[in-house]
């Protein structure tokens, strides 16, 4: 019996990678929409001076580009690893989030123990 899964890359159409022409499933491709001016920046002034119209708008080129994963990583359009965590500063010093979270946890436990509430840690119960 053949099972159908809705969340796998099997039932989508295919696209061709704009960089290497590899066939890529449509839902797996990295899609980018770019807008380019048809003339170079140096030629824009020459065209506007030579134009009869005062407010001539140079046409733009609208492109929808699809990349495969390899080309997107190679062209720096996509990173293949998770971003580094943000560095947090407290009182002008670098603060480690894990150490701060552990300190806050133990402070909460000691405050609860001072009030006579059960803390839930094995060392203090029993």
Check residue 65 and give its pLDDT.
93
In 3-state terms, what secondary structure has residue 102? helix
Residues forming beta bridges with residue 37, ordered by sequence position? 60
**Reported pTM:** 0.48
Q: What are phi and psi of 33, to 5 degrees?
A: -115, 120
DSSP E strand stretches across the chain: 14-16, 23-25, 30-37, 60-67, 88-90, 93-95
Nearest Cα to 108, choosing from 91, 92, 124, 94? Answer: 124
Q: What is the pLDDT of residues 68-93, one digit of tens each?
A: 988 988 887 676 656 666 666 767 67
Bridge pairing between strands 60-67 and 88-90: unpaired
Does 45 score more than 80 pLDDT? yes
Q: What is the pLDDT of residues 4-29, one digit of tens each?
A: 555 555 567 899 999 999 999 888 88
């Amino acid at each position: 019996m053949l099972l159908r899964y809705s969340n796998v890359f099997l039932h989508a159409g295919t696209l061709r990678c704009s960089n290497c022409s590899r066939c890529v499933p449509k839902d797996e491709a990295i899609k980018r929409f770019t807008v380019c001016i048809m003339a170079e920046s140096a030629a824009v002034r020459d065209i506007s001076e030579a134009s009869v119209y005062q407010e001539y708008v140079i046409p733009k080129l609208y492109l929808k580009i699809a990349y495969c994963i390899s080309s997107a990583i190679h062209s720096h359009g996509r990173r293949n690893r998770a971003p580094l965590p943000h560095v947090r500063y407290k009182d002008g010093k670098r603060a480690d989030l894990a150490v701060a979270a552990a300190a806050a946890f133990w402070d909460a436990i000691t405050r609860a123990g001072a009030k006579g509430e059960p803390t839930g840690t094995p060392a203090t119960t029993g």
